A and B are shown apart, each in its own frame.
Chain A
Amino acid sequence: MDNLKELSKIQQYAAQCMKCGFCSFFCPVYQEERTETSVARGKNYLVREILAGRQEFTKEMADIIGKCLLCKRCVVNCPSKTQIDRVVVGARAEMVNKKGLGFIKDFAFRKVMADRKKFGRYVKLAQKFQWMLPKTEGKIRHLPDFIKGLGKRNIPEIADRFLRDMVKEVNKPQDGKAPVMKIGFFSGCAMDFVAPETGLKIIDFLTKKGVEVVYPQDQNCCGAAIYFSGDFETGRKLAEENIKAFEKFDYVVTGCGTCSSTLKDYAKYLSENEDQQKRYDAFAKKVKDLTEFVVDVMKINLEELKLKKEFEGKTATWHDPCHLVRYQNIKDQPRAILKALKGLKFAEMPNADMCCGMGGSFSVYHYDLTKKIADKKMAGIKATNADIVVTACPGCIINLQDNVIRSKMPQKVYHFLELVE
């Protein structure tokens, strides 16, 4: 036990499971594989076995612990509220401690991602090779594996210019008046490298509403792909950098649902002492997802939002990112926005809160499973007859768009703010 530092921290959560098996009904991975090691109950039991000294950190154990989307569907539906996400992430961290990073997966780009500048260079390199590949649809192309590790899939083109090269550090309110509020804008990697236009759109929107938007250049990746894989050390480095970068702001706003949740959760996963706990907690309080910032903080009169012309008469359906609906309990705000947009029809899909199957690096290692899980999402989208799919996490957008194309469906996937004039 003494030598199981990370696991001993989550022992209390592992102990909560009463083995009722209810989670099997909700787990997207179990629903495909239907074996006990796919589901929370099994993973949790094996972690308890490690804690009891009866199970080693084997390769298979690493695979079992790796094969979880961290979607938290099991957690919110568990009658004893067993926090499997913490158990899984804690086990990954312990494994990293014991066996090193490479054991779980050869995560070459982990180190790269943690260095924003270097990551940018790699991404630029990938971009140079894009022309060699067939263009599939609009901005979507097949990209070479070497940077993505994503296999053959429809992923978005890397932007010509990154967001951070395009925006000024300080963006004043457009009406020239004194700002009603001053915020720090956290872009997140996807918005920086793949969808900078969404980032620009957000800044434009907020400055129109009288907000001063500052884009600190020394912000880094939020750390999701890194600390959810168990690399807490790098995670802490990123946490410290981001906290520092946003020190002087009352609000840290991001348009990426995964980022907002990841930034808020530093305290939950990474803090090792009281000082860290305090600072991470304080930071979490400042972080707002764009959806909640617009509705709950700015309290914008939603009736005044204008729909962009191109969406006039269209039907939209909403996909709940796991990191919004279950990590932050944000589900009403985005719906309120969509429903308020005059000229847009809203159709709820039957499985709106079902994970899209991406799960960050999960989809890199289990793309076949990702596709099967996404197939169910696609069926839900089809059932609504919607013209467009709207969400608030670039990760989901990438995965949903990939699968819409793969399924030969007509829909396009948008960040919700892209609908607003």
Chain B
Amino acid sequence: MIKESSIEQFKQIVGKDNVLTSKESLKSYSYDGTTSWIHEPDVVLFPTSTQEISAIMKIANAEKIPVTPRGGGTNVSGGSVPIEGGIVMCFTKMNKIIKIDKENLTATVEPGVVLMDLNMALAREGLFFPPDPQSFLGATMGGIIAENAGGPACVKYGVTKQYILGLEVVLANGDVVNLGGRTLKNVVGYDLMHIFISSEGTLGIISRAELKLNPLPKAKKTIMAVYADVAVAGESVYRVLENGVIPDKIEFLDNWVINRIEEMMPMGLPKDADAVLLFECDGIPESVEKEVEQIVEITKKHGAIDVRVAKDQAEADRYWLARRAGFAAVFGKAATVLAEDVTVPRNKMPDLIRKCKEVAKKYNLEITVLGHAGDGNLHPSILTDINNKEAYDRALKGLDEIIEATVELGGVLSGEHGIGLEKQKFFRRVIDPNVTNLMKGIKQLVDPNNIMNPGKIW
């Protein structure tokens, strides 16, 4: 419980409209994008400046009140769920794009800026922020940085951490530090900035960010390749890359997902295909044409049964809409979804997909797979129901085996969604205790009272 006097102080800091305490409001900040993690905060605060954040943190630190940062609440790991109560510090009202610098290809933003809003503003200047988590309609820059998010375009462009030049961070004790800078190169002491990227809100509050941008590519093309065998599709991915073609996206859908998408919005995906790969190439028009030709040739040579090049942007948009709908297709079909985010070296993808199929058979489970094939990041999802103990136990067993197989194949637990609460169990199992201790040491140093998003990661 938070003292009434602290609440009064918060009201003075952020204004009473930016302090929520009603039962209904607390409930509506108790969840994120996961199906199973729920806990109410004691208060929700909406700061709109670094000063306000700092003032709140000073009180929270003195009173030892847990603080859970929250952006769009779209994460799928329990990251923004205030599992120990206390304050949810929500940044949706701190959402100004402070500056777009066309000459230096940079932008300065507040943490609550939604990625789609940013990209719309950038597009007017002929620029874009390349990392593309598929939750761009709701995810904020603070959350994206705190989760080091990445999306399909990661094949060519990489993930968020490659596009952050500088961060302003408010520490647990209210101190404000500036890390990194505004230059592309920067070797001045330890690279502390990167510790805060993917820290999932456990080290400090990101109150401002300096982003690196790219000019918008002049041309784009989408190719859909259809396969009768998942493993063959997996091979196509590294064959394309091996031949020196770097598409900006390579996405993967399995038969189950294809069929659910067709049910929700019929768009002519081949229903009997075992797998579909979506490629997108971008760049200058001539090179895009050339790359598309090569991909068509390579995929055909390596076992695709049908290859289609989207004839215009409208057709391409339909394919990508289907890819985005994949997530909904999965979540709409079961009471509980164990959505994994495992990532393996690219050439091991067929093995992992095969493993998922085996596990599904062995434990009589419905397991679907979609994901970012270009970077080996797959989202196998087990459909189950947490209220049906027998089925749920089977699901957990299956999940264990998938995770173990991932690690054996040289992969990692999470490619982009983070650990939060959802993957803690596995984190403990696979991370070297020495590494965990190093992390804990850093945490102890910057947040000695353990008030920043407590209960997460390890």
Contacts and interface: CB of A to CB of B under 8 A. Distances in A.
Interface of A: 16, 18-22, 24-26, 34-37, 42, 45-46, 49, 55, 58, 60-61, 64, 77-81
B222 interface: no
Contacts of B114: 24-25
Instruction: Enumerate the 5 nearest inter-chain pairs by beta-carbon distance, A residue then B residue, closest first.
Output: A21-B138, A79-B328, A18-B331, A25-B137, A36-B28
Contacts of A81: 264, 328
Nearest to B328: A79
A54 to B, nearest CB: 8
Interface stretch (B19-27, B201-209, B276-284, B312-320): B19-27
Contacts of B354: none
7 contacts: A18-B327, A20-B327, A21-B139, A36-B28, A42-B28, A60-B23, A77-B137
B33 A45 contact: no
Contact of A18 (B27, B33, B112): B33
Contacts of A25: 114, 116, 137-138
Contact of A24 (B31, B72, B325, B327): B72
A369 B66 CA distance: 34
Nearest to B264: A81
Given A16-B332, A22-B137, A60 B74 contact: no
A89 B112 CA distance: 31
Please indicate which of the listed interface residues A22, A61, A80 has the most CB atoms of chain B within 10 Å of its own CB. A22
Contact of A35 (B32, B72, B92, B116): B92
A55 B72 CA distance: 24
Interface residues of B, number: 34
Contacts of A34: 46, 92-93, 95, 112
Contacts of B20: 35
Contact of B138 (A16, A20, A49): A20
Nearest to B34: A19
Interface in B84-111: 92-93, 95
B425 interface: no
B27 A49 contact: yes
A187 B2 CA distance: 57
Please indicate which of the listed interface residues A25, A35, A64 has the most CB atoms of chain B within 10 Å of its own CB. A35
Interface string B1-33: 000000000000000000010111101110111
A21 B71 CA distance: 11
Interface of B: 20, 22-25, 27-29, 31-35, 46, 72-74, 92-93, 95, 112, 114, 116, 135, 137-139, 264, 324-325, 327-328, 331-332
A264 to B, nearest CB: 23
A36 B29 contact: yes
B33 A79 contact: no
Contacts of B112: 34
A22 B138 contact: yes
B27 A55 contact: yes
Contacts of A78: 328
Contacts of A36: 25, 28-29, 73
Nearest to B112: A34
Nearest to B114: A25
Please indicate which of the listed interface residues B92, B93, B328 has the most CB atoms of chain A within 10 Å of its own CB. B328
B332 A46 contact: no
Contacts of A16: 332
B245 to A, nearest CB: 30
Contacts of B23: 55, 58, 60
B28 A20 contact: no
B41 to A, nearest CB: 12
Given A19-B32, A21-B138, A58 B24 contact: yes
B124 to A, nearest CB: 12
Nearest to B331: A18
B24 A21 contact: no
Please indicate which of the listed interface residues B32, B33, B35 has the most CB atoms of chain A within 10 Å of its own CB. B33
A45 B137 contact: no
Contacts of B46: 34-35
A19 B20 CA distance: 21
Contacts of A22: 135, 137-138
Given A21-B135, A24-B137, A60-B22, A37 B33 contact: no
Contacts of B74: 20-21
B27 A20 contact: no
A37 B23 CA distance: 11
Contacts of B25: 35-37
B332 A60 contact: no
A26 B264 CA distance: 20
Please indicate which of the listed interface residues B28, B31, B139 has the most CB atoms of chain A within 10 Å of its own CB. B28
B325 A19 contact: no
B135 A46 contact: no
Nearest to A42: B28
Contact of A80 (B31, B34, B116, B328): B328
Contacts of A64: 24
Contacts of A24: 72, 114, 137-138
B328 A20 contact: yes
Contact of A21 (B29, B33, B93, B325): B33
A45 B327 contact: no
B89 to A, nearest CB: 14
Contact of B27 (A26, A35, A46, A79): A46
Given A25-B116, A25-B138, A80 B28 contact: no
A203 B262 CA distance: 44
Given A24-B137, A46-B24, A79-B324, A19 B93 contact: no
Contacts of B331: 18, 20, 80
Contact of B24 (A18, A20, A37, A77): A37
Contacts of B28: 35-37, 42, 45-46
Contacts of B73: 19, 21, 36
B92 A45 contact: no
A178 B274 CA distance: 62
B73 to A, nearest CB: 6
B139 to A, nearest CB: 8
B201 to A, nearest CB: 17
B81 to A, nearest CB: 11
B144 to A, nearest CB: 13
A24 B23 CA distance: 21
A20 B93 contact: no
A18 B20 CA distance: 24
Nearest to A49: B27
